[in-house]
Structure 1
Amino acid sequence: MNQALIQLRGVNKHFRTADGSERVVLENVDFTLYEGEIVALLGKSGSGKSTLLRIIAGLLPANKGEVLYRGHPLFGPARGIAMVFQSFALFPWLTVQQNVELGLEAQGIAKAVRAKEAEAAIELIGLAGFEGALPRELSGGMKQRVGIARALVMKPDVLLMDEAFSALDVLTGETLRNDMLELWEDKQTPMKGILVVSHNIEEAVMMADRILIFSSDPGRVRAEIKVNLPRNRSEDSPEVRALIDEVYNLMTSSAEPQEATASSQMHAAHPGYRLPDAEISQIEGLLEMLADEPFHGHADLPKLATEAGLLDEDLFPIYEALRLLDLVHIAEGDIHLTVLGQHYSQADQATRKEIFGQQLLQHVALAARIRHSLEKEESGELAEEPFLRLLEEFLAEDEAKQVLDIAVEWGRYGEVYEYNFHTGMLNLPEID
């Protein structure tokens, strides 16, 4: 067994919300990164992946648990750990050379030495000749190369990559990913381990030796997949496609570990009070695509993602909404229209609204509660505030508002209730 680089034992992280309550982001996270491996972390938005990475980088403290780097407790940034950010995080007034030198300068490295080492890192990452350029003169891919060079110049043991390719177009991101794998395979840097946070399933399968899948609310490891395939993997090989399907299946599965935590039990007490962030147009658009050629009602999830031209991160809320409303069934990396979903896809607009409203009341507890409360009210009208307060019992203030906005959009479309955007009042729809 290779030596452990990073160890997390029972790590918890919570944040204080605006109303003074605590929101648990990570709960009882156990994880080890060993020498000689690339590990990818996958999870839906809000699962705490980036928070975990910042704890490992020493940028955030854990509220509970232990974080070790090479067997020693980590209480802040460590010299052997470097991080690459999604947003590039370059100083616009500094040149490429100056941006790459920043970390060395902070360590008090002599000017001549840091200039030489920065030049070597810039050449290694393929930016030789651009040392004097400013960030505004660079493409997105070149900016990210500067961010990677700035990390590599520190000669890290461990490289943390926080969705480092997600802000780039597909071709640029793939090229940069392959370049990073070439540096890793050829041992052109002192890196002993890489931890990648990603929302791209294919990227994780192509890069990683292990894939960890995080659950949400709170974030914790719910599954691990070992990738026993040699590098230079072909995206079209049966082995890679099978792994991609396996990850999709786990990512879209609603199953949770049997041992319920205190936080998960609390969330279970509020069924339907957290809704996927999907708009009606997105829900119906994907449903129609699934119903039409070439899918005819059932599809391999990766193929559907390619056809839709959307990122996995954007598609997962739509999948969840379709499944929540019992319009699709998802299993083993495939998505199928239910009988109701087939009927919905062929129906006229009035019938679609009727079906949507019926499914909303049957499957979405928040919508059902709003409707029931309005029916009990003599005026048939209520302010939105009590429902916001209800949601804020277990969601952060901004999340509670987002969930209520989704419930309002869905309810208005299904003609379950109406909403006045000027007054913030909910009311029963008028009967024709």
Structure 2
Amino acid sequence: MTEPYLIELKHISQMYGRADRRFTAVHDVSFAINSGELVALLGPSGCGKSTLLRTITGLNVPTEGEVLYRDQPLKGVNPHATIVFQTFALFPWLTVQQNVEVALKARGMAERERGPRAVELLDMVGLDGFERAYPRELSGGMRQKVGFARALAVEPELLCLDEAFSALDVLSAETLRGELLELWSSGKIPIQSILMVTHNIEEAILMADRILIMDKQPGRLVAHLPVLLPRPRQRKDPAFLALLDQIYATMAGQTQPEHIELGSAPGEAGPTRLLPDVTVNALAGLFEHLNDAPDNKADIYRIEQDLKLDSDHLLRLMETAELLGFVTIASGDITLSPLGETFAEASILARKEIFAGRLKRLPLFRWLLALLGAAEEHRLDRDVIRTALELEFAPGEAEQQTAIALAWGRYAELIAYDTSTDAITLESPASVPAA
């Protein structure tokens, strides 16, 4: 008889908001994890990875779909799973040992047994001798080890990692990843499977047996890739680089026709395109790098290495550059367009003019400039814009979109913003694009 999946998601969707203002965080996601697997859930920020993790552990109830644990419907909090979060989430007034004992107490372990077991767990993760230290006395990597020890205290079958290494410096993250893999592969911990959420592509390849790739708006699965490389894995291995290139090609996609790329304006039919959270200076740096490349073209994964960018940041930069028409993307390569080359070589003032022209093409900016053009004295409060955008986006996203629009519009000298009054004004009536 075939052993059941450890965890199985069937057509999971998660929506928020009222009936007249529904926001879809996750749409129709299905996948399963077997015992003995380490699976990475990879995707850009905002694609619903953490929402799925909370659903698997029973902290979220999905709007639609079903979660099965060993073939049984999950009801309430999953007692066989635990999460290690990006933030260390330690109690600062408790010692390292006491932080671990909190989890043991929650399990119902007798007080006389907690201390020895906590010491054993701390020794297991390499913190022998630090039992009486307080979190403030530890480095980031050591604090995260306390988080792992506390997670292991509940003896989970499924360990979920929610960007568990992303708050650490490079060396600490590398060390902790290796130590976790060693613990798990040695059988010293009771964990049957690991599900890790990450936006770091290299991290996913280094650790996972399988990689599930998500996209956003709405969050959904777009690819499922096995990782067949032997461990320990080497970043410079040609097979590693080939898989890195394949994943970037999948996540970056390819440039679509303009009407698809741009999306719709607020209030119109169709989805309003989110503005990626990047700065103009970072965009300019990307264009200058591509302008120096042969044929203004580069492998996307090589840009990450050359510019030492976080993969999530690089994907946002590429999305923005593509949205504005400064690059094209296909088959894992990014190519600077003639307009992008002009921008890279232009003066400061010329860059502002070029950027302003591209912003006027974006439906969200056309909407914003038209609102300001029709307003008395071409002036609106920031809250008015944010409230209007909340009809299109979740409240947190609406505030972020307002901030990004202000930053880009001020750089392009299309709008002005008074921080003392939170008033947004049109720089010039000529800023309003023709209908």
TM-score over 0.5 for the pair: yes
Kept in 2: contact 1:298–1:335 (CA 8 A): yes
- 1:351 alignment partner AA: A
The share of aligned pairs that are identical, in percent, is 43
Whole-angstrom CA distance in 2 between matches of 1:299 and 1:290 = 7
Q: What is the total number of aligned residue pairs between the two structures? A: 421
Kept in 1: contact 2:107–2:154 (CA 8 A): no
Aligned 1:15-414 pairs, distance under 5 A: 15-16=16-17, 21-253=21-253, 269-270=269-270, 273-292=273-292, 297-362=296-361, 364-374=362-372, 380-381=378-379, 387-414=385-412
Per-residue deviation, 1:373: 4.7
Structure 2 vs 1, CA of residues 296 and 106 (structure 1 numbering), >3 Å: closer, same or farther? Answer: same
Please state whether the residue corresponding to 2:68 is helix, strand or coil: strand
Structure 2 vs 1, CA of residues 267 and 226 (structure 1 numbering), >3 Å: closer, same or farther? Answer: farther
Please state whether the residue corresponding to 1:4 is helix, strand or coil: coil
Kept in 2: contact 1:271–1:365 (CA 8 A): no
Structure 2 vs 1, CA of residues 425 and 80 (structure 1 numbering), >3 Å: closer, same or farther? Answer: closer
Please state whether the residue corresponding to 2:109 is helix, strand or coil: coil
Kept in 1: contact 2:35–2:192 (CA 8 A): yes
Per-residue deviation, 1:308: 2.6
Kept in 2: contact 1:382–1:427 (CA 8 A): no
Whole-angstrom CA distance in 1 between matches of 2:46 and 2:231 = 31
- In the alignment, structure 2 segments of 5+ residues that lack a partner are 257-263
TM-superposition CA deviations, 1:50-89 (whole Å, max 9, x none) = 1211121122222222111111222223332122111111
Structure 2 vs 1, CA of residues 268 and 68 (structure 1 numbering), >3 Å: closer, same or farther? Answer: farther
- 2:8 alignment partner AA: Q
Structure 2 vs 1, CA of residues 159 and 2 (structure 1 numbering), >3 Å: closer, same or farther? Answer: same
TM-superposition CA deviations, 1:292-350 (whole Å, max 9, x none) = 3x677332223322333331222222211111111112223222211111111011122
Whole-angstrom CA distance in 2 between matches of 1:332 and 1:268 = 32
Please state whether the residue corresponding to 1:60 is helix, strand or coil: coil
Please state whether the residue corresponding to 1:303 is helix, strand or coil: helix
Whole-angstrom CA distance in 2 between matches of 1:11 and 1:73 = 13
TM-superposition CA deviations, 1:351-390 (whole Å, max 9, x none) = 212211222222x111123334555668555565664444
Whole-angstrom CA distance in 2 between matches of 1:277 and 1:356 = 16
Per-residue deviation, 1:22: 3.4
Kept in 2: contact 1:212–1:221 (CA 8 A): yes
Structure 2 vs 1, CA of residues 113 and 383 (structure 1 numbering), >3 Å: closer, same or farther? Answer: closer
Please state whether the residue corresponding to 2:360 is helix, strand or coil: helix
- What's the counterpart of residue 11 of structure 1? 12
Whole-angstrom CA distance in 2 between matches of 1:243 and 1:35 = 24
TM-superposition CA deviations, 1:380-412 (whole Å, max 9, x none) = 555656644442222022322321332233233
Whole-angstrom CA distance in 1 between matches of 2:267 and 2:238 = 39
Aligned-residue CA RMSD (Å): 2.7
- What's the counterpart of residue 261 of structure 2? none
Per-residue deviation, 1:164: 0.6
Between 224-233 and 114-123, report the one with greater CA deviation: 114-123
Per-residue deviation, 1:254: 6.0
TM-score (norm 1): 0.89
- In the alignment, structure 1 segments of 5+ residues that lack a partner are 257-263
Per-residue deviation, 1:415: 3.5
Structure 2 vs 1, CA of residues 239 and 2 (structure 1 numbering), >3 Å: closer, same or farther? Answer: farther
Kept in 2: contact 1:2–1:36 (CA 8 A): no
Whole-angstrom CA distance in 1 between matches of 2:216 and 2:147 = 29
- 1:154 alignment partner AA: V
Per-residue deviation, 1:285: 2.3
Kept in 2: contact 1:371–1:428 (CA 8 A): no
Whole-angstrom CA distance in 1 between matches of 2:288 and 2:407 = 20
Per-residue deviation, 1:185: 1.9
Per-residue deviation, 1:117: 2.5
Kept in 1: contact 2:255–2:328 (CA 8 A): no
Per-residue deviation, 1:268: 9.0
- 2:11 alignment partner AA: G
Between 78-87 and 167-176, report the one with greater CA deviation: 78-87
